[in-house]
Homo-oligomer: A and B are copies of this chain.
Amino acid sequence: MNPGDRVRVDRADRTYEGVLLPSSTDDHLVVKLEGGYNVGVDRDGADVDVLAEDVYEIDGTDSTGADEGESSEIEFDDDLPTISLISTGGTIASTVDYRTGAVTAQFDAEDVLRAVPDLAGRANYRGRVVANILSENMEPPLWQDLAQAVYEEIEAGADGVVVMHGTDTMQYSASALAFMLETPVPIVFTGSQRSADRPSSDNVMNAVSAVEAAKSDCAEVMVCMHASESDDACALHRGTRVRKNHTSRRDAFETIGAKPLGEVDYESEEITFRRDYQQRGAVDLAIEPELEDDVELVKFTPGMDPAFLDIAEGSEGLIVEGTGLGHVHTDLIPRLEELIADGTTVVMTSQCLEGRVCDRVYDTGRDLLEAGVIEAGDTLPGTAKVKLMWALENSADVEEAMETSLAGELQVRSVPWE
């Protein structure tokens, strides 16, 4: 049997019939069922019958016509909004990419609907591939390409944009776009924690919910992922406040320090917003994609060698993930002072993640402020890094920028003691 064959798989009293797809693991078979949904079957103890060879075109293998009937053009529906789907790779994009292959820079509505039939009737689709990488390989220049692609899609008339992205670094990319773009339409990142070849894949529900969110009134950069372990709703997180908090759960993404912006109910397709947001059309489309590359992030832990900070020697910026209210060992403060004197912008965040940096309470903090360290408030450390990269290129006053909310990353000041 080979990927592309039509197969019947029997295992543990269940039978699956469909097209065999490439699997990301050796111990699972992946079968694309009728209707486009993929299922993963444990190879161990599975009986496989090949019903027909090579019926489906996969990564350039020839199709022998079984899906010939599906190649008709999808007609444009004037009554539906146009949603641009931008693929950067990752688990979710693999659904689409099985057919188009890694080298194809465009995909069309047909490809989308073949991969996720549930998207039919919700929008007119445009498709675009910016990258095809696992998101741990995402890099600042790709954030710039992605921002440019989103900009062009909106300029070309997209009523909303869905970015398919690996989950590992989704929060960093979402933050980057939130700083780079002023957007009059929703920009919705979505991904998948379980690939389409897993029985519990979240890719269809996340993609459908993201498209609904992209049609909504919320013109912000959002992340749309499972709200809980069940398949009933996706949460909409502000891109600059979200964090992947679990390695494998489908509801791994959480808004830190606040409730999510809203929720997409999967059955009713209704979207409920629970917080204020920037409305569709409130601002004009604009892009400022410049970034300073030379910014690092250092997480302080007890016993850290002060020489560790040499990494920031000559750098433009340094994010410190301190302890508690924003502290490091007193021995590190003179080194930070030197770096600041040499022109490095040093910004303090907290490894606590929840709550805000407040360096006016204890001696260590006051010494840090005197040394010239800037406080990031409750900005998440990863978001602070992306923001500093952006602010160093685009803000006249970097300190003021780091202490001001530019894209919802810094929440209204709360008094830490009350």
Q: Which of A137, A173, A308, A417 has the most CB of B within 10 A?
A: A417
Residues on the B chain within 8 Å of A72, using CB: none
Say yes or no: B302 contacts A296, CB within 8 Å.
Answer: no
Q: What size tier do the contact residues of chain A reach? A: 35 or more
Say yes or no: A355 contacts B252, CB within 8 Å.
Answer: yes
Residues on the B chain within 8 Å of A322, using CB: 136
Q: Kindly identify which residue among B24, B249, B305, B389 contacts A355, using a CB–CB cutoff of 8 Å.
A: B249
Say yes or no: A329 contacts B137, CB within 8 Å.
Answer: yes
Encode contact with B along A323-363: 1 for CB under 8 Å, 0 otherwise: 11111111100000000000000000010111111101111
Which A residues contact B (CB, under 8 angstroms)? 24-25, 134-140, 143, 167-169, 172-173, 194, 198, 200, 244-249, 252, 293-305, 307-308, 310-311, 321-331, 350, 352-358, 360-364, 382, 385, 389, 416-418
* With contact pairs A299-B299, A311-B308 given, residues A137 and B249 touching in the complex (Cβ less than 8 Å): no
Say yes or no: A364 contacts B134, CB within 8 Å.
Answer: yes
- Bound state CA distance, A347 and B318, in angstroms? 24
- Bound state CA distance, A110 and B295, in angstroms? 53
Say yes or no: A246 contacts B355, CB within 8 Å.
Answer: yes
Say yes or no: B417 contacts A198, CB within 8 Å.
Answer: yes
Q: Which residue of B lies closest to A378 (CB)?
A: B247
Q: Kindly identify which residue among B140, B305, B363 contacts A134, using a CB–CB cutoff of 8 Å.
A: B363
Residues on the B chain within 8 Å of A357, using CB: 247
- Closest approach, in angstroms, between the C-beta of A28 and any C-beta of chain B? 10
Residues on the B chain within 8 Å of A304, using CB: 296-297
Query: Can you list 17 A-B pairs, Cβ within 8 angstroms, ordered by A?
Result: A24-B361, A24-B362, A134-B364, A136-B300, A136-B322, A136-B323, A136-B324, A139-B303, A139-B329, A168-B324, A168-B327, A248-B325, A293-B303, A294-B305, A297-B301, A298-B299, A303-B389
- Closest approach, in angstroms, between the C-beta of A206 and any C-beta of chain B? 16
- Bound state CA distance, A199 and B294, in angstroms? 44
Residues on the B chain within 8 Å of A301, using CB: 172, 297, 382, 385
Q: Which residue of B lies closest to A40 (CB)?
A: B417
Q: Which residue of B lies closest to A138 (CB)?
A: B302
- Closest approach, in angstroms, between the C-beta of A281 and any C-beta of chain B? 31
- Closest approach, in angstroms, between the C-beta of A143 and any C-beta of chain B? 8
- Bound state CA distance, A352 and B356, in angstroms? 19
- Bound state CA distance, A304 and B140, in angstroms? 10
Known: A136-B329, A311-B311. 20 other contacts (CB 8 A): A134-B363, A134-B364, A135-B324, A136-B323, A136-B327, A137-B364, A139-B329, A140-B302, A169-B323, A173-B302, A244-B323, A245-B354, A247-B416, A248-B358, A248-B416, A297-B299, A297-B301, A299-B321, A308-B311, A310-B311
